[in-house]
């Protein structure tokens, strides 16, 4: 396994767990069992390493997600919101076959990126992977055309928040479900719980 990969693998776990600010290059390189200088040699800086970690996931996720959303947009029949949100399920769970715990790690990273580092990751994702966002809003628009652009903006942001926040603490949630309710849940279980919630939220009566 190459040094570059060892660094990426160690970094993504630590970043997901402790945030970007909260993780030092020293922790990453000692976890990866490579030399400290290797990060700067292979990636140039910590910021570039963060981008590389996210890109590895986004390059795996975005084509699948875009085509799933595109299929909904091209269909004759109007999709339900549940169907729109369910379109995320397969592409997200596919990350688990790409890497151990990939789905959970990626979603946690996404959550970190939205709160750490004052929106730099938001900028990175929206500029580097704009297709996902436009396809998604198109699909929601088709499912629920009564919603105007502004209302959709708010509700999609709330949805993003729900998903990202839930996933950043999914490990704790899975533990609580286990201890308090004696219920075995995995990341797919959490996603399936959250879909009806966000679908109902987006479909809430419009207040004007």
Does position 31 interact with DNA (CB under 7 A)? The reply is: no
Question: Please, what is the minimum distance in Å from the beta carbon of residue 28 to DNA?
Answer: 8
Of 36 and 176, CB closest to its own copies: 176
Binding of residue 2 to DNA (CB under 7 A): yes
Comparing CB distances to DNA, the nearer of 27 and 83 is: 27
Please say which residue, 77 or 172, places its beta carbon nearer to its own copies: 172
Residue 126 to residue 157: CA distance in whole angstroms: 13
Dihedral sign of CA atoms 73, 158, 199, 206 in order: negative
Q: Which is nearer to DNA, 35 or 97 (CB)?
A: 35
Q: Which residues of 78-106 are buried (b: 16+ CB within 10 A; e: fewer)?
A: ebebebbbbbbeebbeebbeebebbbbbb
Rounded to whole angstroms, how far apart are CA atoms 207 and 181? 36
One of 17, 18, 35, 90 touching DNA (CB under 7 A): 35
| DSSP string across 177-206 | HHHHH-----HHHHHHHHHHHHHHHHTSPP
Residue 113 is a binding residue for its own copies (CB under 8 A): no
Our finding on whether 51 is near DNA (CB under 7 A) is: no
Give the Cα-Cα-Cα angle 164, 133, 68 (nearest 5 degrees): 90
User: Which residues of this chain interact with its own copies, rule CB under 8 A?
Assistant: 17-19, 21-22, 111-112, 114-116, 118-119, 149-150, 153-155, 157-158, 160-162, 164-166, 168-169, 172-173, 176-177, 180-181, 183, 192-194, 196-205, 207
């Amino acid at each position: 396994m190459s040094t570059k990969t060892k660094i990426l693998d160690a970094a993504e776990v630590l970043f997901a767990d402790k945030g970007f600010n909260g993780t030092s290059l020293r922790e990453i390189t000692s976890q990866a069992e490579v030399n400290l200088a290797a990060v700067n040699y292979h990636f140039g800086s910590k910021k570039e390493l963060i981008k590389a970690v996210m890109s590895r996931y986004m390059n795996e996720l975005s084509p699948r997600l875009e085509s799933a959303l595109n299929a909904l947009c091209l269909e004759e029949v109007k999709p339900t919101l549940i169907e729109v949100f369910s379109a995320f399920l397969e592409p997200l769970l596919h990350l688990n076959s790409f890497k151990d715990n990939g789905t959970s790690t990626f979603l946690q990273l996404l959550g970190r990126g939205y709160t750490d580092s004052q929106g730099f990751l938001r900028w990175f994702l929206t500029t580097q992977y704009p297709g996902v966002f436009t396809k998604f809003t198109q699909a929601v628009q088709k499912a629920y055309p009564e919603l105007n652009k502004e209302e959709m903006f708010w509700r999609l942001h709330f949805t993003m928040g729900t998903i990202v926040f839930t996933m950043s603490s999914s490990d704790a949630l899975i533990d609580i479900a286990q201890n308090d309710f004696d219920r075995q849940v995995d990341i797919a279980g959490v996603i399936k719980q959250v879909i009806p919630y966000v679908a109902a939220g987006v479909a809430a009566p419009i207040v004007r």
